Amino acid sequence: MPRHVTVGLHATIVAVTGTEPRVLTVSGGGGDDGPPALPFGPLDPDRHRTLELGLRAWVSDQTGMDLAHVEQLYTFGDRDRGGAAGGETRVLSVAYLALVRERELAAGHPAAWEAVYRFLPWEDRRGGEPALLGDGIRPALDAWIEAAEAGPARRERRGRADITFGAGAAGWDGERVLDRYELLYEAGLVAEAGRAGGPAAAGAPPGRAAAGPTGFGAPLAFDHRRILATALGRLRGKLKYRPLVFELLPETFTLLQLQRTVETLAGVRLHKQNFRRLVERGALVEGTGRVEPATGGRPAELFRFRREVQHERPAPGVGLPGLPVSGS
């Protein structure tokens, strides 16, 4: 008698507050003190005509939010995905990325906005390479690499680490968020790796000690951090050719606000003058006459997103070069 299949709809709901990207979490599985989880709801095969409508429905029910942009990310279906009703039913999770303008959560809901980079601290390079990388992650990865027997196996590990964490000539690739998380997972450097007998648990505990007992970054329940990594990677990629940022900003904004929001998601600082040029030449925004009452210096003009762009150019997005730092 085959087990039944149940479908869960997972949402990575992202907003930006000022200069910090946030994700909506709920208190997680495993008692009240376990790690937080991404919100999710079951698909009701009777009521929900499409998957996306199902997602919007329970998000609206549970949090009162209307999602702006919604996009399917990936479907996770491994049998032993930590937690989840193990025995009788097989659980399939369809994960979504959703963007909203942040707002107060209706009181009484057990949800909270958490900083995305609490869970993936190595992804935030706005202040240059974070110390965590040089002090903790790279040494731990080196240990993991050395733990492989010399020869092709070790070279393989070295190559992967160099590529994903941008060591070689090639620099840091902001979109490889998932690759990096999965590498850390395999190396046993994130807390999730220790949980329920995944295949990785056997492989390589050596670097583990270096990461401390809890691994790098704050954990999420189940495999939700993997979902979050998928979401951030996708978001970073799509920023470049779709005007997604504007879903996160108020109706009018200054160019610096826009830039900060992009930087926040991309995890990198951008060159101000060039950013402005790209945005303006791309005709992504139009000035309203008004200005923002000075934020410390000369007042900035307020701009508005030109929705028409989507019907004019094939791939309108904010160019995302790879600028290291440069004076703000």
Partner DNA sequence: GCCCTTTATGCTCACAGCTAGAATAACGGC
Partner DNA sequence: GCCGTTATTCTAGCTGTGAGCATAAAGGGC
**CA separation for the pair 321, 328 (Å, rounded):** 15
Which one of residues 85, 150, 170, 202 is an interface residue with a copy of itself (CB under 8 A)?
170
Residue with tokens 């609490």: 118
The site partner of 240 among a copy of itself, DNA, none (C-beta below 5 to 8 Å per kind) is none
Find the binder of a copy of itself among 51, 57, 210, 278 (CB under 8 A). 51
Cα 222 to the center of its chain, rounded Å: 16
Locate 75 and state its tokens.
């479907």
Is 92 an interacting residue with respect to a copy of itself (CB under 8 A)?
yes
In a 3-state reduction of DSSP, which class is residue 123?
Answer: helix
Residues in Cβ contact with 191 at an 8 Å cutoff, skipping those fewer than 6 apart: 35, 214, 215, 219
Q: What are phi and psi of 162, to 5 degrees?
A: -60, -45
| Nearer of residues 138 and 313 to a copy of itself, judged by Cβ | 313
Q: Are 244 and 192 in contact (CB under 8 A)?
A: no
Q: Which is nearer to a copy of itself, 93 or 261 (CB)?
A: 93
User: What one-character-per-residue DSSP string does 188-237 give?
Assistant: T-BGGGGSTT-HHHHH--GGGGGG-TTBSS---STTHHHHHHHHHHHHHH
| 79 scored as a contact of a copy of itself (CB under 8 A) | yes
Q: How many residues interact with DNA (rule CB under 7 A)?
A: 28
Asked if 281 interacts with a copy of itself (CB under 8 A), we say no
- The C-alpha R_g of the chain, in whole angstroms, comes to 21
Nearer to DNA, 232 or 255 (CB): 255
Q: Among 152, 213, 297, 314, which residue interacts with DNA (rule: CB under 7 A)? A: 297
User: Interface with a copy of itself includes 138 (CB under 8 A)?
Assistant: no
Least distance CB 114 / a copy of itself (angstroms): 27
Report if residue 110 touches a copy of itself, rule: CB under 8 A: no
Region of residue 283 (left: phi > 0; alpha: psi -120 to 50; beta: else): left
Q: Residue 159 binds what, of DNA, a copy of itself, none (CB under 5 to 8 Å, by partner type)?
A: a copy of itself
Distances in Å between the alpha carbon of 142 and those of 97, 146, 160, 188, 206? 33, 6, 12, 13, 10
> Looking at the DSSP assignment, which residues form a beta bridge with residue 37?
26
Q: Is 29 in the site for DNA (CB under 7 A)?
A: no
Nearer to DNA, 281 or 311 (CB): 281
Which region, judged by CB under 8 A, interacts with a copy of itself, from 32-40, 78-86, 188-196, 213-221?
78-86
Q: Which of 26, 68, 278, 309 binds DNA (CB under 7 A)?
A: 278
Stretch that binds a copy of itself, among 11-19, 42-50, 281-289, 290-298 (CB under 8 A): 42-50
Per CB under 8 A, the list member of 31, 32, 33, 50 interacting with a copy of itself is 50
Which DSSP string corresponds to 258-304?
HHHHHHHHHTS---HHHHHHHHHHTT-EEEEEEEE--SSSSPEEEEE
- Of DNA, a copy of itself, none, which one sits near residue 56, judging by CB under 5 to 8 A according to partner kind? none
Cα 138 to Cα 216: distance, rounded to the nearest angstrom: 11
Residue 43's binding partner among a copy of itself, DNA, none (Cβ under 5 to 8 angstroms by kind) is a copy of itself
Site residues for a copy of itself per CB under 8 A: 2-7, 43-46, 48-51, 72, 74-75, 77-80, 89-90, 92, 94, 155-156, 158-160, 162-163, 166, 168-171, 173, 176, 308, 310-315
Site residues for DNA per CB under 7 A: 254-256, 271-274, 276-278, 281, 291, 294-301, 319, 321-324, 326-328
